[in-house]
Structure 1
Amino acid sequence: MITGFVVAMAKDLFGKTPELKAEALRKRAEELRQKTHPEAHELCDLCLTGFLSRPKFAEEIHTHLAFDFLYRYQFPDAWREAMFDFLAVSLFAAGETVPGVSKTRIIKAYWDRSYERLLKKHPGERGEIQALDREMKLRTYRDFLEWEVIHHSILGYGVGEVEHPVTAFTLESAETLRARCSAYKSALRAFLDEIGREELETTFRAKLKSWKPGLLAPCREDGAFDVVVSTGELPVY
């Protein structure tokens, strides 16, 4: 299938990129560790250095980058809608093979498609919905990457067949996090609304029940935080 060809092509390209070779990645990680405060070295090793000790860590990175390339690939017009529907299934079927940043691309597309409908459906909350739309104006790769913590804090992180709730720490404000989570959940609702009730209650029932909302902690620059945002308690439009 064409998706397999695109992923294989991209993975081969990333595997040949000097900056993405295993030794180059280890060197970059060590440079970042040296710039990290000594009190944070244990956390740095847990999140970064430990991952780089895996035998095939570079291949895992290349695979994630290849899948994200697939989600940004411009398919011919005649195939585009069918490929979008195919890739949207990854929200359920692909586990963590597809990174959260790529799944966020699908959710953003559903938000863009449902925005005008939400304005008409909730005329009294136009200002709130417009504020959410501003939070969904993602333009750069970094914009999407920052949303990966939103994705996992709402749905959880899958290990095998089990989803685990995620607690993430970020420098964004509590107000920004609440808006982004509500926008994400509303776009996810738009996606689910396109699936038939029977299919939701059979094919997707187990996956829906496995989702585990988590927590987001908006940190100050010194690492301290005063409030925690519970993603499961935020409104959906």
Structure 2
Amino acid sequence: MLATAQELVYNLKDLMPTRYQKNNLEAMLGLFLEAQGHPLPEYSKSKSASALSRFLNINAWSTRGMIRIIRSQILEVVLRTLFESGRGRRPFLQVIVDLTTLVRAAPSLAKEKCGKFKKFEDLISVYNGKRGLHIVVLYLVVGRWRIPWSFRVWRGKGTPSPAQLGLKLIKRLPKLLTKRFKVMILADTGFGSAEFIHGIRKLKHHAIIGVAVSRTLDDGRSLRHLHKQGQQVSLVGLNFPVTISWYYLKRDNGRLEKRIIISTLTLKS
């Protein structure tokens, strides 16, 4: 992994058009690689925050070129790691779909010179009580690593839903991966719509997805009435059976909250 990381850094530096920008990139990478929880420009010891801000927002360098190089390196790591760990049968590739909200601070809490980002005004919206920039992110899971692969911004009411955006991201997974691996989609309750689940099924992928406890069975009961994990059930809106299970999540108030998950692949309890 270390050799791969070094190769990636050298390739990214080669994309920088000037020595000054190469130095800024080194400073930014250094902040992340220190892994001390302080990746913001103001914590850099070698470059000023204003210099790094210009590098990120003003200086011209190829964003697309960087994305191509990083994705190429990711594919190499994924193929090597998963094939080494999964000999014989075609191994599974876990893919996480998640909605992340970048919360926008209230004006009274915003620090001076933080910027208003006027070009983002049309992208700021409210979702599930949170106001900010809502991003659907797709991750590839490789061993202990969860690697961001692609994303889409949810643009508010009247536009494709987060579940629809997530399905689009899954459809754009490289054939190099989908042909060599069985794909297992992992998602929370926000992606538990029948449209999303049928879309996964149509792509011939498998999925483990969170659903609401109020979800209705074909016989009229709801999922909260079930007491046996691992059984096959038929949900309203789905034309195929799924395996049901659950776990308990401890909330901040100390109470345990029951969370239901379904699997399109038959699993043991």
* Band the TM-score falls in, shorter-chain normalisation: under 0.3
Larger Cα-atom Rg: 2
Higher relative contact order (CA 8 A, sep 6+): 1
Q: Which has the higher strand share?
A: 2
Higher helix share: 1
